[in-house]
Structure 1
Amino acid sequence: MTGNGEFEDQICSNGSSFWECRAYQRTVKRVDGANKLCSELCLMIQERAELEKAYSSNLKKWSARWLSFLDSGLEYGTGSCPWRGLCKEAEAISNIHLNVRNILLDEIQTGLKHWQKEHFHKSSLPPQNLKETKQFDQDFELAQKLWAKRLKRAHCTKKEYYQACKTERSLQVQVQNAKNDPSGTAEQNGDKKSTRCTGSYTIQLEHKKLKKIQEKLAKAEKDVQRTRNAYKLAIAELDTESARYVEEMTKVFTRTQDFERERLCFFKETFNNLHNALNVCAKADYDSIYNELAHSISQCDIESDLQWWSVNHGVDMPFVFPRFEEYSPELAAMSHKKRGTIIDHGLPVTLTNVTTISSPVDRHSTVTSTNNSEHNDVRLDNGVISSPNGPQSVIHTPFDDKASKMSTPPPTTTSADGDGNDEVVSSGACDSEVNDATYDDGRPGVKVRALYDYVGQEDDEISFVAGDVFDKLEEADDQGWCKGRKDGRAGLYPANYVEVLHKEDP
């Protein structure tokens, strides 16, 4: 007999309804997800605060540098006013963004951490799971315990009843065969290779065997009636328990919904506070950005989210009560005839569109291959970029130090090809996976002509029509596919769809 844990796991895997055994685990794990969301939102706010601080610091450095430049006296008279005005504007913007950083950390992030600490409590002993998760899990398990026990009882009695019906039907067939064939079948007679019985002795022996089978049939009929009654009784007990089960499970689920509603309300309030803190610019071209953010926050409908969860993972899901199902020999026989789908990968490729080539010369297609040379820009030591369009100057900013570290290209290695030319190979290219089917190394191929039309079914296949001429790069594999190149693109095609062109062929 299947253990209780294995039976519950089987129920969970077969049905996704909230009312199945231990299917409430998704709702319980939502509490763990809420705690993780709080931590991730804190990290998100922390990173944004660091960006605001870095921007403020760079603005101050930029302002101090150009104020120092003005002290040299190179710009004179009222011409220095615009310079100093730009520096003062940078200091003002710097103070604003520094204030944003302080609000993000001192008010919003601190409040979020405090709320998380009040609503989520970890156990003192390893593995330090959330107490709220454990409590909800225990409450759901207690509400489901008796119902799950009776459901298991109904499942077992159903299995016993079906097995008794199968045994009864098998014995009925044996009795019928024994009555129709007095000599008995090979299975009923046993091993009688050398034993031969005469007349009356054989008839008496067959009567005894028939009587034994009939006795087994009578016992099987009693088992069918007994297991049938037990199955009906188990279903009746399950129906009696279902009302209480629904009520208790709904109570616990409502508590989880209230807990999640509180988190959603707090998150919406936090997002509104973030919007107010970040909306520091009153320029017309910035209004659209912050108005769009405000609109996205206003679309947060808490009740709609909770209702969606209830419909898809909660008490509003359909509750199908187990009902008595009569045994059907036809369905039982059909279940033994199921076979897995067998895929024979060795079958040849089926021709989908066969076209006769009347004039191969008229159907030739020109194979073109273009090799585009890549021009790499070279940064010189004097801060000038050499490119095909001419040298370009580079303006250094206070962000160059960080930007250069973040955007440093991967190291390259230099190798010489057969002509003595250096070839630069990026180490990043070695890490990426190359699709062998579509990778073209530029090597020459063997000219082939298409005999039939073929339309590629996958991304790594090439298409052609009868009469097209293209290159074959590799011989056919054990599956009957060749690698070729057509119109500058490499891919796979069926080997028996083409023929090799000889020099005398047009």
Structure 2
Amino acid sequence: MSTLPHENGLEDANNRSFWMPGNYQCTVKRTEDAFQACNDIVACFQERARVERQYAQQLSEWSTKWKPIVDSSPLYGSLLKAWQCFLSSTDRLASLHSSICRSLVSEDGDRIRTWQKETFHKKIFGGFKESHDFEMGFARAQKPWAKRLKKLEKAKAAFHKASRKEHAAREREIHAQGNPDVAIEKQRKSQEERELAQAETEKVRARYVKVLEEVTRYAPRYMEEMESIFDQSQEEERKRISFLKQAFLSIHRHLDVTNNESVKSVYNELHNTLMAISEGEDLRWWKNTHGPGMPTDWPKFQEWTPDKKHKKGKKQVERMEREAMIGGVRVRALYDYTGQETDELSFKAGDEFLKIEDEDDQGWCRGLLDGGKEGLYPANYVEVV
């Protein structure tokens, strides 16, 4: 009894074998499965592209929301620059993920679609030319083999039927001979039946053996033809696997931000900005801008001098006309100031220039020097002329 599961398993395996009639269908169907797999791959990574786009949008929205809050923060100096760098880095990352979205759709998706169109050729009445060609090739190779198998199965069935009859006749003969109540005539008749059944069995056995030999002789040719068609199918599948491998590698290259030079640049710049936070520089700036380091005009004795009237020269008239066009207020510097940033003005005590924007929350005004340079300056360093 313990051998039955093994025998049944072996029989099931033989029934599923590629060599059995009709079992090549899964190989033929592989073409249609590959076409559907391409559709699934494109749909899968189009959905990933939407995730990348939504992430980029969320990053941009976050940066836009916090930028004015950060810019108006009470933080200053290198600490403020570090906070602002988080937002500028986020803008660059949002741009990167937008480009990933575009690459997944327009580059990777289009490449797979184009290859799919060139590789799979649909027939008018459904299916693909490639799978139809394999179907016909396998069917032609298997047709004579299937006929021989059918003939062999018929011969085997006839032999097994004759063997069962012979076995039954032998059982009856043994029963009759061992029973003294059975008449001699009946015993002789049972012996004749067994001999006839035995002769029939030998005859059918010889036919079965002959058909089996014929099938065995044809098997190498059948295997050669089937393997030839199968190898063609394998070559087509090899090309599909090779292409999809390259497609997956391309998708990986677009998604792998760890090796993206622009991402490395973003985080290196952010790291350098954070490392550049200096309490000494920030405290020094505060001291010079809002503390004891600020210059002042200490009281001193001043002689009275009468005001002199000057005629307005040509340059002064041009300057006044230009200031009238821009709009603003003439101011005079009370102290020397050297701009610490590229967008700040530098001037000496007594210099006059135009204030074109009023003081902001942090105590800075925007001015325009007579030479044409525009920039920021501390509001408490000047007075209105």
Same-fold call, TM cutoff 0.5: yes
Q: 2:220 corresponds to which residue?
A: 243
Q: 1:94 corresponds to which residue?
A: 94
Q: 1:150 corresponds to which residue?
A: 148
Instruction: Provide, for residues 470-492 of structure 1, a one-character-per-residue CA deviation record: whole Å limited to 9, x for no partner.
Output: xxxxxxxxxxxxxxxxxxxxxxx
CA contact (8 A) 1:12 1:22 kept: no
Return the letter of the residue paired with 1:256: S
201, 222, 230: which one aligns with 1:224: 201
Tell me the CA shift for residue 121 of structure 1: 3.8
Q: 1:116 corresponds to which residue?
A: 116
Tell me the CA shift for residue 59 of structure 1: 1.4
CA distance in 1, matches of 2:166, 2:78: 112
CA 80–177 in structure 1, closer or farther in 2 if over 3 Å, else same: closer
The 10-residue stretch of structure 1 (151-160 or 243-252) with the greater mean CA deviation from structure 2: 151-160
Q: 1:296 corresponds to which residue?
A: none
Return the letter of the residue paired with 1:120: F
Q: % of aligned pairs identical? A: 31
Tell me the CA shift for residue 159 of structure 1: 2.4
Tell me the CA shift for residue 146 of structure 1: 1.2
CA 273–68 in structure 1, closer or farther in 2 if over 3 Å, else same: same
212, 225, 244: which one aligns with 1:267: 244
CA contact (8 A) 2:49 2:104 kept: yes
CA distance in 2, matches of 1:82, 1:176: 107
CA 251–70 in structure 1, closer or farther in 2 if over 3 Å, else same: same
Q: 1:54 corresponds to which residue?
A: 54
TM-score when normalising by structure 2: 0.58
Tell me the CA shift for residue 219 of structure 1: 2.7
Q: 1:135 corresponds to which residue?
A: 133
CA distance in 1, matches of 2:187, 2:219: 47
CA 281–228 in structure 1, closer or farther in 2 if over 3 Å, else same: closer
Q: Given the alignment of the two structures, is residue 233 of structure 1 paired with residue 233 of structure 2, yes or no?
A: no
Q: How much is the aligned-residue C-alpha RMSD, in angstroms? A: 2.9
Q: 1:40 corresponds to which residue?
A: 40
Q: 2:30 corresponds to which residue?
A: 30
Instruction: Provide, for residues 373-412 of structure 1, a one-character-per-residue CA deviation record: whole Å limited to 9, x for no partner.
Output: xxxxxxxxxxxxxxxxxxxxxxxxxxxxxxxxxxxxxxxx
Tell me the CA shift for residue 154 of structure 1: 1.6
Greater C-alpha Rg = 2
Q: 2:320 corresponds to which residue?
A: none
Q: 1:253 corresponds to which residue?
A: 230
CA distance in 1, matches of 2:37, 2:167: 59
CA distance in 2, matches of 1:280, 1:114: 26
Unaligned runs of 5+ in 1: 1-9, 185-205, 288-506
CA contact (8 A) 1:21 1:144 kept: yes
Q: 1:370 corresponds to which residue?
A: none
CA distance in 2, matches of 1:260, 1:132: 11
SS at match of 1:132: helix
Instruction: Provide, for residues 304-356 of structure 1, a one-character-per-residue CA deviation record: whole Å limited to 9, x for no partner.
Output: xxxxxxxxxxxxxxxxxxxxxxxxxxxxxxxxxxxxxxxxxxxxxxxxxxxxx
Alignment size in residue pairs: 254
CA contact (8 A) 2:166 2:201 kept: yes
Tell me the CA shift for residue 120 of structure 1: 2.6
The 10-residue stretch of structure 1 (85-94 or 166-175) with the greater mean CA deviation from structure 2: 166-175
Superposition pairs for residues 180-195 of structure 1, below 5 Å?
180-184=178-182
Unaligned runs of 5+ in 2: 1-9, 265-385
Superposition pairs for residues 328-477 of structure 1, below 5 Å?
none
Q: 1:278 corresponds to which residue?
A: 255
Q: 2:171 corresponds to which residue?
A: 173
Return the letter of the residue paired with 2:251: L
CA distance in 2, matches of 1:181, 1:12: 45
SS at match of 1:209: helix
CA 282–276 in structure 1, closer or farther in 2 if over 3 Å, else same: closer
Q: 2:368 corresponds to which residue?
A: none
CA distance in 2, matches of 1:282, 1:140: 48
CA distance in 2, matches of 1:177, 1:147: 45
Return the letter of the residue paired with 1:141: A
SS at match of 1:19: coil
TM-score when normalising by structure 1: 0.45
CA distance in 2, matches of 1:167, 1:82: 99
CA distance in 1, matches of 2:11, 2:133: 23
Return the letter of the residue paired with 1:242: A
CA contact (8 A) 1:12 1:20 kept: no
SS at match of 1:181: coil
CA distance in 2, matches of 1:248, 1:90: 63
Q: 1:159 corresponds to which residue?
A: 157
Instruction: Provide, for residues 37-94 of structure 1, a one-character-per-residue CA deviation record: whole Å limited to 9, x for no partner.
Output: 2222212211221121111111111121122335657556666433432222111111
Greater RCO (Cα-Cα under 8 Å, separation 6 or more) = 2
Q: 1:466 corresponds to which residue?
A: none
CA contact (8 A) 1:12 1:21 kept: no
The 10-residue stretch of structure 1 (116-125 or 58-67) with the greater mean CA deviation from structure 2: 116-125
Return the letter of the residue paired with 1:234: V
Return the letter of the residue paired with 2:212: I
CA distance in 2, matches of 1:12, 1:177: 39
CA distance in 1, matches of 2:186, 2:84: 117
Q: Given the alignment of the two structures, is residue 67 of structure 1 paired with residue 67 of structure 2, yes or no?
A: yes
